[in-house]
Structure 1
Amino acid sequence: MKKLIIVFVFLGGIFQVNAQSDIELISQTLMDYIEGSTEGQPERLKTAFHPDLNLYSIGKSGEVSVWSGKAYIADTKEGKPTGEAGKIISIDFEHNAAVAKVEISHPKSKSTYVDYFMLLKTEGKWIIIHKMYTKRTSNKI
């Protein structure tokens, strides 16, 4: 019986490490996005984004606005920080799929944006495949 208990505890520990490892890997991908965009590091953005990623929002007239990830990266100027600050609000994942929520604050305009991401894990790496964003209109986190 002791051997069974030891094996059970050991296997439970492995599960916990794998779950934590995925959270850490997802967080790193999100930080590549946050710091890549706010610190003027387009190469970091490239590592976080799938090449076919698009960014979606609602335009001024209420229409769906689509911005290509390639254009977003091209608009990020190497070595030119934006002065924005970002933080991860939440991460939820199952196996090789994840969703995440990030907040980006613009101190000059006093605006805060909320980004919603879909990520997939491929070849041991999490990559952002989809981004939607909106301007925060409440204090709700």
Structure 2
Amino acid sequence: MSKNIKAVPTKEYTEVVATANKYVDGLRGGSPADVADAFHKDAVMYGFTNGELLGGPIQNLYDFVEQNGKAPKIETRVDVLAITPTIAVVRIDMENDAIGADYNDYLTLIKIDGTWMVIAKVYHQFENQA
């Protein structure tokens, strides 16, 4: 007989979403330091921005934020797609970032020493409708 035990408390979902929101709030304010608060120091990212592959160390994201500034009109929806006691996958549907682009970000998070942090980001940029 299998055990009917809830593996992940709701509190963990809340903490994962809060980490994703640190990232979004950093984008909104144009602060690479605030964005970095959501990421592990060795995190990586990959995706295409304006048709060019942007990949490698997460510093590429911080550089993008530094170069493009605030995104005060950014709109997002955060969905936790999967979660275990130590890892989670989040999708962020994002509209109107600092360059006016729309994205789907997929963040992989890991819980280390009781703290959720993003270890990897992959993303898809949609074409502008203008």
With the length of structure 1 as denominator, give the TM-score of the two structures.
0.70
Runs of 4+ in structure 1 deviating by more than 4 angstroms, as ranges, are 107-110
Aligned to 1:55: 45
Q: Does 1:71 align with 2:71?
A: no
Q: Which has the higher contact order (CA 8 A, sep 6+)?
A: 2
Distance, in Å, in 2 between the alignment partners of 1:42 and 1:108 is 13
Higher helix share: 1
CA RMSD of aligned residues (A): 2.9
What stretches of structure 1 of length at least 5 have no aligned partner?
1-11
What stretches of structure 2 of length at least 5 have no aligned partner?
none
What is the percentage of aligned positions where both structures have the same residue? Answer: 18
Distance, in Å, in 2 between the alignment partners of 1:31 and 1:96 is 19
Q: Does 1:94 align with 2:100?
A: no
Q: Which amino acid aligns with 1:56?
A: Y
Contact 1:58 1:65 in 2 (8 A): yes
Contact 1:101 1:114 in 2 (8 A): yes
Distance, in Å, in 1 between the alignment partners of 2:47 and 2:11 is 31
Aligned to 1:132: 122
Aligned to 1:35: 25
Displacement of 1:84: 4.1
Q: Does 1:81 align with 2:65?
A: no
**Of the two, which has the highest radius of gyration?**
1
Displacement of 1:89: 3.4
